[in-house]
Amino acid sequence: MTPTKALTGPAENDVQRGLLVPPWHSRILDDGTDRERWLAARANAVIGASDAAGYVKASSIEAYTAAKLKPSSFHGNAFTEAGHEWEPRLLASCGLQQSTVLIHAPGEMGFGATPDAMKSTPGGIILGEAKVKHNKIVHGPTPREFRQVAWQMFCADWDRVLYTEFVWGEIVNGELRNGAIEPKHLRIFPKDVEHLLQPMIDIATPVLARVRSALKFAKELQL
């Protein structure tokens, strides 16, 4: 697989000037500036974090494969739009800038993720994940969200990730619940979710092999 679009703009200019570029730069599959192109890149035999987060039963590998191969007809709703509005604000509350870049894991282009924020520091990589919770009180990430964070760390480069800043806003009538000044935060370190990673990889590996085989067969039929 090759990147859907060559990276252009400020990051490319940084390379030309010889300035420091983020450690994931060579692993970008798509810059995320075009939603349809990003979806196409992710559908092209890439197991994303939202996919892997649902991989909990080895006995369901065939079902996971079928779900990955099924075309998606969902293009968002009112909650999706609210998320697009709130996520940058939630991330900004912990000093992070929103990212739309789809990256692949070191050594495997079929394992990918689009963390809501990625920041390169001298000490390592800081990730951000923002969640908008509508009309509900939430005390922290769900088990699925913890798995999502673990997969994002894996794709960002596990040994370089310092932590993920998990931030969520409880939104009622378009505002933070009870007039809260800031959203809620939880700092998740790799050691906190390390036990979740290998079981996902053990399922994602055969799923990816099956998806690649199916897509290859479909392509051959078109020749």
**Of residues 1 and 36, more confidently modeled:** 36
The token duo for 175 is: 């505002």
Domain of residue 98 covers 73-196
pLDDT per residue as tens digits for the range 68-87:
998 864 444 444 555 567 88
pLDDT per residue as tens digits for the range 167-205:
988 766 556 655 555 678 899 999 999 999 999 999 999
Q: Does 203 fall in a domain?
A: no
The token duo for 60 is: 């369901």
Q: Does 82 fall in a domain?
A: yes
Give per-residue burial for 124-159: e unless 16+ CB within 10 Å, then b: bbbbbbbbbbeeeeeeebeeebbbbbbbbbbbbbee
Q: How far apart are CA 58 and CA 64, in angstroms?
A: 10
Q: Residue 146's closest CA among 195, 79, 201, 77?
A: 195
Strand partners, 113: 103
Q: Considering the entire predicted model, what is its pTM?
A: 0.83
Q: How far apart are CA 48 and CA 58, in angstroms?
A: 17
Q: Does 25 fall in a domain?
A: no
Instruction: Give pLDDT, residue 78.
Output: 46
Domain count, the chain: 1
Mean pLDDT over all residues of the chain? Answer: 84
pLDDT at 160 over 60: yes
CATH number at residue 148: 3.90.320.10
